[in-house]
Structure 1
Amino acid sequence: MLIIKKLPKLKYIIKEFHKKNKSIALVPTMGNLHDGHLKLVSEARKNSDILVVSIFINPMQFSDNNDLLTYPRTLNEDYKKLKKHHVDLVFVPKSTEIYPNGLKNQTYVNVPILSSFLKDMYCPIHFQGVTTIVSKLFNLIQPNMAYFGEKDFQQLVIIRKMIIDMNFSIDVIGIPTVRNKDGLALSSRNIHLNPQELKLATNLNKIMNYIAYQLVNKKLNINQITTQAKEMLLNKGLKPDGLAICDEITLDKLTIQSRNAAILIAAKIGNTRLIDYQKVIL
């Protein structure tokens, strides 16, 4: 397994892979790898000659500097896990390698409209950071396919739109969320939860299931469902920090033409913000 930190070496090796007509899969991550990440890696390994995993904690997508500083860093453990999963190349650049002139002087990529939807889930600046770093990785690695988790569903929709708009010839594959035995979506941020908070966090998925039940059975309208769900979160010790029931394709309001709904939910437990997603066939 190659571990590469510098751009010139990465470009040289990627060029050699392409000369040999090797198919390349990319799994972009910020490290602190868990079974959710490794599911992406496993799926990517099945479908490519060369598997590249990037580990980069991207400062451009953090609005809170403390959140950036406290983001879990487990690089040595990550290397061991990736080696076991037969990854060919790990790209681990420093911020100065990616943004040599600093963030303020960096050209950025912004996907309009979709990045502004669901403002209570994320601020548009977050997605500006995501699309900028992902487009840079796409240009550097030139993968045939890239794998992303569905838990960050708005991110997945935005990246797919960016692919179309920027004419990237890359297949973007979304992989279903991996959960623990209690239904909690795996996340690098779960490490910040104490045992009591972990127990409370399982209610996030339960309330999302309740929303899905109401949507399918059409007993309540969207506003009623949203109000009830937020009350349920509070009653379970979770602070609502974003809740959207929207069209799966457009992320806009559900219409008669909507075939599937997307439930996107975010809540805080202490200082930890968790997100989740569920698809509902209407």
Structure 2
Amino acid sequence: MLEIDRIFPLREQLSSWRQSGQSIALVPTMGNLHAGHLSLVDKAKTVADRIVVTIFVNSIQFVAGEDFASYPRTIGQDRAKLAAIGTDILFHPLEEEIFPESPEQHTTVMVPSLDNIFCGKYRPGHFAGVATVVAKLLNIIQPDVAVFGEKDYQQLLVIKQLVRDLSMPVRIIDSPTVRESDGLAMSSRNIYLNAEERMIAPMLFQVLSRMKDEIINGNSAYTEIEQRAQDELGQAGFATEYVAIRAANNLAEAGTGDLVVLAAARLGTARLIDNVVIRR
């Protein structure tokens, strides 16, 4: 595995692969890799010849009061995990390589229709930060495909929208959420859960799954389903930000097409998000 921290040598290597007819997949991450991240790499290996994983803790997607300074940085362990599963390049740039000037002066990419709803409402500016750095990584690497997890569902839709709107020649591929044995969605921030909270945390997925079952069984009283779920989470100790049933393709009001049931809630110092999709 090559480890590169500068744009110019990265592009030189990618150019040589393209000239030999090899396809390239990108897996962007912020590091502290777990089995969910590694599943994205495995997915990428099924659709491209060469795999580039990026590790960049993106300061502009953290809002005031969040954990940018304390976000787990485990580059040594991450490097070993990526090498073990056959990653071709680890691109691990310094902030000044991505933002030669201050991040505050950098051009910003925003997807207005998704920017300030749900997670965007509670984390103002977060999705503009994500969209800006993902757009930059896509331009730097120019992959044939990029793989993103379904756990961060709103983020996935933001990225698909920016690729469509900016006519980027890249295919965005979803990869299913990877869960612990008790159903908790894997997340780098699960380490913030104490032992008691960790016992409670799987209830988020359980509640979403019951909502899905109700809808599949014909209950279309979505507001009532959402409220019951929020009450149940509150009684269990979650500080719920939202529980919502929405159109799966754009998070608009639910219609007759596919749906997504999504939620965000705090449990102690951990902010948990999860979702389940209903195909119909």
Query: Is 1:267 matched with 2:265?
Result: yes
Deviation, structure 1 residue 115: 2.1
Q: Which residues in structure 2 correspond to 1:139-150 (within 5 Å)?
A: 139-150=139-150
SS at match of 1:252: coil
Q: Which range is displaced more, 141-150 or 1-10?
A: 1-10
2:5 alignment partner in structure 1:
5
Deviation, structure 1 residue 191: 1.2
Query: Is 1:46 matched with 2:10?
Result: no
Amino acid at match of 2:264: A
Cα offsets for 1:131-179 (capped at 9, x unmatched): 1111111111110000000001111111111111111111100011000
* TM-score, normalised via structure 1 length: 0.95
| CA distance in 2 between partners of 1:226 and 1:111 (Å) | 26
1:82 alignment partner in structure 2:
82
1:114 alignment partner in structure 2:
114
* TM-score, normalised via structure 2 length: 0.96
SS at match of 2:181: coil
Unpaired runs of at least 5, structure 2? none
Aligned residues of 1:53 and 1:90 also touching (Cα < 8 A): yes
2:100 alignment partner in structure 1:
100
Q: Which range is displaced more, 145-154 or 122-131?
A: 122-131
Unpaired runs of at least 5, structure 1? none
Query: Is 1:250 matched with 2:237?
Result: no
Q: Which residues in structure 2 correspond to 1:126-165 (within 5 Å)?
A: 126-165=126-165
Deviation, structure 1 residue 65: 4.8
| CA distance in 2 between partners of 1:169 and 1:144 (Å) | 7
Cα offsets for 1:78-122 (capped at 9, x unmatched): 000000110000000111111111111100111121223335665
SS at match of 2:112: coil
| CA distance in 1 between partners of 2:34 and 2:119 (Å) | 28
Report the identity percentage.
39
Cα RMSD over matched residues? 1.4
Deviation, structure 1 residue 123: 3.5
**1:205 and 1:11, CA in 2 relative to 1: closer, same or farther beyond 3 A?**
same
Amino acid at match of 1:2: L
Aligned residues of 1:120 and 1:241 also touching (Cα < 8 A): no
| CA distance in 1 between partners of 2:95 and 2:65 (Å) | 14
Aligned residues of 2:114 and 2:158 also touching (Cα < 8 A): yes
Deviation, structure 1 residue 128: 0.5
SS at match of 1:273: strand
**1:42 and 1:119, CA in 2 relative to 1: closer, same or farther beyond 3 A?**
closer
- Runs of 4+ in structure 1 deviating by more than 6 angstroms, as ranges, are none
SS at match of 2:115: coil
2:125 alignment partner in structure 1:
125
Aligned length: 280
| CA distance in 2 between partners of 1:195 and 1:116 (Å) | 33
SS at match of 1:67: coil
Amino acid at match of 1:217: N
SS at match of 2:27: strand
